[in-house]
Amino acid sequence: MMDRKISPASLESCKDPLKASKYFAVPDKLSDIFLVLIRIGILVSLIASVSLALHLAFSKPTRWFPLPDHLQVSHNVSDTAPTNMSHILFGIGGSVNTWQERSCYSGLWWDPNTTRGFVWLDQKPKYDVSHFLVPYQISHDWRQFRHVHSDYAVRIARIVYESFKLGLPNVRWFVMGDDDTVFFPKNLVTVLGKYDHREMYYIGGNSESVEQDVMHAYGMAFGGGGFAISYALAAQLANIFDSCLHRYYYFYGSDQRVWACVSEIGVPLTKESGFHQLDIRGDPHGLLAAHPLAPLVSLHHLDHLQPLFSNQTHIDSMKTIIHAYHLDPYRIMQQTFCYDPKRRWSISISWGYVVQIYTSMLPAKDLQTPLQTFKTWRSYSDGPFTFNTRPMSSDPCKQPALFFLDKVQEVRSSGTVTSYKRFVHAEAKKCMAAGINPEEVERITVSALKLDPNYWKNVPRRQCCRVMDGGSIKDGSLRMRIRKCRTRETVTIRQL
């Protein structure tokens, strides 16, 4: 190796490092001391600025409205007890202009002793709120966000964030809905109980009308039907929510904004068919009489549809349904089939709502397919829908005879007897006179044991039904019974 010559200047600088830079030269005068202090201050400021710039560039963005310190880390992560009503926090989207009228819907299902949550209003009400069951909160800070459409959608979307920010204890699920959404809370608990709140879940349902799903998103939970967000997801969502709302300022609805922000976290929609947006027009009975084999969780848009019972108002119709729900919550609107082979009748029971008698033998695949008694939401068309439908004959003599719920009675705390009274419209009277419709039946009585809530924890199977008393009609009444299917029994009669 060749020896490298070192210059005297280099040796001098190694001996005295401070002389390597005149910037740090030792001052000989007092004025030089101040000059050095100024230079050191400038250098420190420069280093701090560079460090701050690097931190902002590589760390995740801070939220616009920081969370309280006690919400920065998830809680309840070790709680593994079964989910119950106290674990759900409802966030209801409303306004002072709509709440006074629509609060009657929440009053149907809200239990002040067991239900937690708030209706979120845009300002403090000027009317008396002491008689309302649901307490209220006032939304904050939503006016600071850009929007192409109404800022109302921004405010409603932020209910997820603001509910989380309250920091209430023992919350596992944040459930959103509108002020005209009717929930069936026990069934909601049953559905959410299938999922682990410590994982990130986004649960709800689509619109019934394809045109709505195409316009918004198939992967979106429609807000009127309600949706649920687990605590784990809410905690992640809170970190990005306000900045995310700013990015999607051009969206129309609040539920679309929530879906877009959830998508940024990478969580897909978990669909549950008991959430009903009811994006349909006209008579809903064809859809609800063939309810999916799933717990009924919610109903929405009731004021935009015909009443569920033709001789009652919207509110009275829901009171009738809720009364049956309280006696057997897990069975409400569950469909089963019966056959009268002698008369060749097919009978469809939607428990707690309606019984339909067809004067022909129809297989299960037809009976479980909704009759199209309704139109699409936006264009009032005959479809398409997100499910199959059967056409409703324009001939009233070929339509099923309808028997709507009239009475509900509890039997020894373990069973129920429901009574359904015949509904006859003017056109159907002609068919009865011609002997085409089953004119001798005026009332149908259905007995059943209450449905075990554990029924929904297993793979669901439609229960069976039989016509009692050999099909005899006594005093215009036909009796039927719903029960579990036997080992080799099917819900469709084999003589079809």
State pLDDT tens for residues 326-353: 999 999 999 999 999 889 999 999 999 9
pLDDT at 496: 56
Say if CB 270 and CB 203 are below 8 A apart.
yes
Pair (137, 248) in one structural domain: yes
Domain that holds residue 424: 329-483
Smallest Cα–Cα separation from 241: which of 83, 71, 16? 71
Place of tokens 């569950």: 334
pLDDT at 16: 37
Point out the domain boundary residue: 232, 248, 271: 271
pLDDT at 59: 42
State pLDDT tens for residues 74-103: 444 457 899 999 999 999 999 999 999 999
How many other CB atoms are there within 10 angstroms of residue 80's CB atom? 9
pLDDT at 491: 80
Q: Is 62 a residue whose pLDDT tops 80? A: no
Question: Lowest-confidence range among 194-208, 347-361, 478-492?
Answer: 478-492
pLDDT at 425: 72
Going by pLDDT thresholds of 50, 70 and 90, the confidence category of residue 36 is low
Which amino acid makes up residue 222?
F
Question: Lowest-confidence range among 123-127, 212-216, 277-281, 427-431?
Answer: 427-431
Strand 227-230 versus strand 173-178 pairing type: antiparallel
Pair (208, 339) in one structural domain: no
Pair (334, 452) in one structural domain: yes
Residue 310 lies in a domain: no
Q: State the Cα–Cα distance between residues 339 and 371, nearest whole angstrom.
A: 19
Percent above pLDDT 70 for the chain: 81
Q: Is 309 a residue whose pLDDT tops 70? A: yes
The H or E element that residue 287 is part of is helix 285-288
Pair (117, 259) in one structural domain: yes
> Based on the number of CB atoms within 10 Å of its own CB, is 272 exposed (0-12), middle (13-18) or buried (19 or more)?
buried
Which amino acid makes up residue 87?
H
Residue 90 lies in a domain: yes
Length of the chain: 496
Smallest Cα–Cα separation from 320: which of 406, 443, 415, 384? 406
This prediction has a pTM of 0.83
pLDDT at 40: 66
Pair (341, 457) in one structural domain: yes
Residue 302 lies in a domain: no
Residue 419 tokens read as 């009574």
Going by pLDDT thresholds of 50, 70 and 90, the confidence category of residue 55 is very low
Strand 345-350 versus strand 335-340 pairing type: antiparallel
Those residues with Cβ within 8 angstroms of residue 98's Cβ, 6 or more apart along the chain or in another chain: 179, 180
Pair (340, 239) in one structural domain: no
Pair (460, 354) in one structural domain: yes
Residue 3 lies in a domain: no
Residue 52 lies in a domain: no
Pair (258, 133) in one structural domain: yes
**What does 113-151 look like in DSSP terms, one character per residue?**
TT-EEEEEESS--SS--TT-SS-EEE--SGGGS--SS-H
Q: State the Cα–Cα distance between residues 331 and 252, nearest whole angstrom.
A: 36
**Average pLDDT score over the chain:** 86
Point out the domain boundary residue: 227, 251, 271: 271
The C-alpha R_g of the chain, in whole angstroms, comes to 32
Residue 475 lies in a domain: yes
Going by pLDDT thresholds of 50, 70 and 90, the confidence category of residue 51 is low
CA distances to 188, 258, 326 from 105, in Å: 17, 24, 16
Residue 228 lies in a domain: yes
Describe the strand order of the beta sheet including 202-204 as a list of residue ranges: 136-138, 116-121, 88-93, 173-178, 227-230, 202-204, 269-271
Pair (364, 445) in one structural domain: yes
Say if CB 136 and CB 120 are below 8 A apart.
yes
State pLDDT tens for residues 367-415: 999 999 999 999 999 999 999 999 998 888 889 999 999 999 999 999 9
Point out the domain boundary residue: 254, 271, 288: 271
DSSP, collapsed to helix, strand or coil, labels residue 400 as coil
Pair (243, 351) in one structural domain: no
pLDDT at 398: 84
How many domains, the chain? 2
Residue 305 tokens read as 């549809």
Those residues with Cβ within 8 angstroms of residue 42's Cβ, 6 or more apart along the chain or in another chain: none
Pair (333, 225) in one structural domain: no
Q: State the Cα–Cα distance between residues 280 and 283, nearest whole angstrom.
A: 9
**What does 204-240 look like in DSSP terms, one character per residue?**
E---SBHHHHHHS-TTSPPTTT-EEEEHHHHHHHHHH
Percent above pLDDT 90 for the chain: 70
Q: State the Cα–Cα distance between residues 452 and 456, nearest whole angstrom.
A: 8
Q: State the Cα–Cα distance between residues 77 and 459, nearest whole angstrom.
A: 28
Q: State the Cα–Cα distance between residues 320 and 312, nearest whole angstrom.
A: 9
What number of helices (H) and strands (E) belong to the chain? 13, 21
State pLDDT tens for residues 257-295: 999 999 999 999 999 999 999 999 999 999 999 999 999
Pair (349, 213) in one structural domain: no
Residue 51 lies in a domain: no
- Mean pLDDT computed over 232-260: 94
CATH number, domain with residue 95: 3.90.550.50
Q: How far is CA 21 from the centre of its chain?
A: 69
Q: State the Cα–Cα distance between residues 178 and 93, nearest whole angstrom.
A: 5
